[in-house]
A and B are shown apart, each in its own frame.
Chain A
């Protein structure tokens, strides 16, 4: 059993600070657990005998078993004593939601945090926090995200590690709105113990997680080497997408040497990410684009992209975007031209982009996809499906998805427009075809997929040929 599994799959939880008072963090957390957690729940609060229909314990000592997980949501001053009591009880995993520690910048806060570190070491307790929103586990129902206005994403396979609690909340909300499934999300706050390295290691082993997304402000000093080693191992199993916040240099070592003046903190992070096989993103857009493409698309074995479009202009935009990130958009070879000529009306353009033109129907897409899916010299297909043309009824959606399944190659789509476009996009996405609205974002995302595929083929020979 992994050292951190008690945070994610506990059979019992003690919630210290559980309360019936509306608007309190302790109430929100208890409600979350009541709603979805299947294990035993022990609310702890000296002021109540019962909270929200559950028996409430006056102290940790009174709990009739050793809870696998402790959640602390009480004022900072009382946290050290509570942690000690959990230690006495034998609990080995504790999430400290409470703030009021090092982040306050005060001597008192710092001293309190030092005490927590001491106690956790003394009892061998693993701690997430303090000053965090903790764990959101969509499979076990562990949920300390007390931000109740947040819409909860469906069960799924994206895990998220965040140094920022507020961003974690916003992102979950966004993913819920866009129907992207989440396995587990963790916000670790001041990280006095459990950090990025531990969590990445855990999620690497987690079979409910297929893509890991990380928001990092800074790695703990002296953990850099281990971070790279862990990330390298995990990257071979699943893609890890990382966003580094705080890119500007602190400049603290500017004068020491020429190299130091150039380095800044971010350049070194950037190099480390690259060496670890991580996929770095520069913006929120990229973050979610890359996560979506990694979630749904297979590895990309080569560099040749074919475009099938019902709009010439968008085909050209795509060609530019794909070429400028390093893809090949090959000129259709003669035998393929002939083949396409034989199945398309004479006014269609059989160069790549293959332009079915504005009078196309679903049939043309289906015929062309059938031809392309049988070819060895096609590494990915981009389908432009602008729904404004009159002849499209929508059955081509199934064929696009089928092409992806049957070829085992990336098949992505582009639609631009209003409701009809959204409708097409939704249908495609439900069938695992990643849809983009912007040619440039599509190209960059496909490039990320290709880069990761290259990393895998280089470091894990035999995964796929070519």
Chain B
């Protein structure tokens, strides 16, 4: 589905928060690297696609009615093979029906877990004065406690994005510390530029959080994508 179709469907169903696989689809459409993810409806499907997705694998319940997935037993991590995938999805679906009876279930999203790296956040909002605006920051306490983030208004060039990355106070961490290699700033800048374009081209999107975007010495991947939409007019 194109971003337009995804958004239209969500709005028709009265949802303002896109489901995980929908958000991934939109990000992917704009060339933002995301994990290889598939929405499965049954343990059999999980078994069938598991090898294709890869390991270690994560499985999470997808439902517009369930916000805290782990609280209802809707998350399984570090799945190692297709047998485990089958069991995990079976369990997740059973837990959901027991702990969240009546919740609409879209399925279970399974994806290859990203290896550890430096956690960053890339986000975007639609500002009421300046329009689409993107944000960059480091994950964890850097954003939560220090509020160490930088912003740019659309259109954002690749140079602007690199400047944003260097502008945060803790930017030296990106250059490598305590024996860690420097991370790929170009890959991050590329995601920032694409996020800005994504916002500008889809007026219904109010905000987007790519949190975390895990950065490596080569490349970066948006592990979680949240998109909030709004009815126009």
| B207 contact from A219, A259, A265, Cβ within 8 A | A259
Check B129 against A223 for contact (C-beta < 8 Å): yes
Shortest distance from the beta carbon of B217 to any chain A beta carbon, whole Å = 26
Q: Is A218 an interface residue, CB under 8 A from the partner?
A: yes
Q: Is B177 an interface residue, CB under 8 A from the partner?
A: no
Check B209 against A259 for contact (C-beta < 8 Å): yes
Residues of chain B with a CB closer than 8 A to A268's CB: 127, 129-130, 133, 151, 153
Check B129 against A275 for contact (C-beta < 8 Å): no
A window 229-285: CB within 8 A of B: 253, 256-260, 262-263, 265, 267-272, 275
Q: Is A221 an interface residue, CB under 8 A from the partner?
A: yes
Query: Known: A258-B123, A262-B143. Is A275-B152 also a contact (CB below 8 A)?
Result: yes
What string of 1s and 0s marks CB contacts (under 8 Å) between B147-166 and chain A? 10111110000001000000
Query: Known: A263-B151, A271-B150, A275-B160. Is A257-B129 also a contact (CB below 8 A)?
Result: no
Residues of chain A with a CB closer than 8 A to B150's CB: 271
Taking each of A223, A228, A257, A267, which has the highest tally of chain B beta carbons within 10 Å of its own beta carbon? A257
Check A257 against B153 for contact (C-beta < 8 Å): no
- Residue on A nearest B121 in the bound complex, by CB: A258
- Residue on A nearest B227 in the bound complex, by CB: A257
Residues of chain A with a CB closer than 8 A to B151's CB: 263, 267-268, 270-271
What is the CA–CA distance of A275 and B127 in the complex, to the nearest angstrom? 15
Residues of chain A with a CB closer than 8 A to B211's CB: 258
Q: Is A225 an interface residue, CB under 8 A from the partner?
A: yes
Query: Known: A262-B149, A275-B160. Is A221-B128 also a contact (CB below 8 A)?
Result: yes
Taking each of B130, B207, B209, B226, which has the highest tally of chain A beta carbons within 10 Å of its own beta carbon? B130
Check B209 against A225 for contact (C-beta < 8 Å): no
Residues of chain A with a CB closer than 8 A to B130's CB: 219, 224-225, 228, 268-269, 272
Residues of chain B with a CB closer than 8 A to A272's CB: 130, 153
Q: Is B124 an interface residue, CB under 8 A from the partner?
A: yes
Check A262 against B153 for contact (C-beta < 8 Å): no
Residues of chain A with a CB closer than 8 A to B6's CB: none
Main secondary structure of the interface of A (DSSP, over half): helix
What string of 1s and 0s marks CB contacts (under 8 Å) between A197-233 and chain B? 0000000000000000000001111111100100000
Q: Is B74 an interface residue, CB under 8 A from the partner?
A: no
Q: Is B137 an interface residue, CB under 8 A from the partner?
A: yes
Shortest distance from the beta carbon of A13 to any chain B beta carbon, whole Å = 34
| B135 contact from A225, A262, A269, Cβ within 8 A | A262
Q: Is B96 an interface residue, CB under 8 A from the partner?
A: no
Shortest distance from the beta carbon of A310 to any chain B beta carbon, whole Å = 38
Check B149 against A218 for contact (C-beta < 8 Å): no
Q: Is B206 an interface residue, CB under 8 A from the partner?
A: yes
What is the CA–CA distance of A339 and B151 in the complex, to the nearest angstrom? 49
Check B207 against A256 for contact (C-beta < 8 Å): yes
Residues of chain A with a CB closer than 8 A to B129's CB: 218-224, 265, 268-269
Shortest distance from the beta carbon of A197 to any chain B beta carbon, whole Å = 11
| A228 contact from B125, B153, B209, B226, Cβ within 8 A | B153
What is the CA–CA distance of A253 and B230 in the complex, to the nearest angstrom? 13
User: How many residues of chain A are within 8 Å of chain B by beta carbon?
Assistant: 25
Shortest distance from the beta carbon of A249 to any chain B beta carbon, whole Å = 11
| B125 contact from A221, A224, A260, A269, Cβ within 8 A | A260
What is the CA–CA distance of A257 and B143 in the complex, to the nearest angstrom? 13
Check B128 against A257 for contact (C-beta < 8 Å): no
What string of 1s and 0s marks CB contacts (under 8 Å) between A427-461 and chain B? 00000000000000000000000000000000000
Shortest distance from the beta carbon of B56 to any chain A beta carbon, whole Å = 26
Q: Is B208 an interface residue, CB under 8 A from the partner?
A: yes
What string of 1s and 0s marks CB contacts (under 8 Å) between B99-142 and chain A? 00000000000000000000001011101111101010100000
Residues of chain B with a CB closer than 8 A to A260's CB: 125, 207
What is the CA–CA distance of A405 and B123 in the complex, to the nearest angstrom? 49
Q: Is B228 an interface residue, CB under 8 A from the partner?
A: yes
What is the CA–CA distance of A271 and B133 in the complex, to the nearest angstrom? 9
What is the CA–CA distance of A267 and B151 in the complex, to the nearest angstrom? 7
A window 341-400: CB within 8 A of B: none
| A262 contact from B127, B147, B152, B206, Cβ within 8 A | B147
Residues of chain A with a CB closer than 8 A to B149's CB: 262, 267
Query: Known: A262-B135, A263-B133, A268-B133. Is A224-B127 also a contact (CB below 8 A)?
Result: yes
Residues of chain A with a CB closer than 8 A to B135's CB: 259, 262-263
What is the CA–CA distance of A271 and B150 in the complex, to the nearest angstrom? 8
What string of 1s and 0s marks CB contacts (under 8 Å) between A291-315 and chain B? 0000000000000000000000000
Check A257 against B133 for contact (C-beta < 8 Å): no
Check A256 against B137 for contact (C-beta < 8 Å): no
Check B208 against A259 for contact (C-beta < 8 Å): yes
What is the CA–CA distance of A260 and B121 in the complex, to the nearest angstrom? 13
A window 85-128: CB within 8 A of B: none
What is the CA–CA distance of A405 and B121 in the complex, to the nearest angstrom? 50
Which 4 pairs of residues, A with B, have the shortest CB-CB distance?
A259-B123, A224-B130, A271-B151, A257-B207
Contact sample, A vs B, 27 pairs, CB 8 Å cutoff: A218-B129, A221-B129, A224-B127, A224-B129, A224-B130, A224-B131, A225-B130, A225-B131, A228-B130, A256-B125, A256-B206, A257-B123, A257-B125, A257-B206, A257-B208, A257-B209, A258-B143, A258-B211, A259-B121, A259-B124, A259-B208, A262-B137, A263-B133, A263-B151, A268-B130, A270-B151, A271-B133
A: residues with CB less than 8 A from B are 218-225, 228, 253, 256-260, 262-263, 265, 267-272, 275
B: residues with CB less than 8 A from A are 121, 123-125, 127-131, 133, 135, 137, 143, 147, 149-153, 160, 206-209, 211, 226, 228
Known A-B contacts: A225-B131, A268-B133. Give 18 more (CB < 8 A): A219-B129, A222-B129, A256-B228, A257-B123, A257-B208, A257-B209, A258-B121, A259-B208, A259-B209, A262-B135, A262-B149, A263-B127, A263-B135, A268-B151, A269-B129, A271-B133, A271-B150, A275-B152
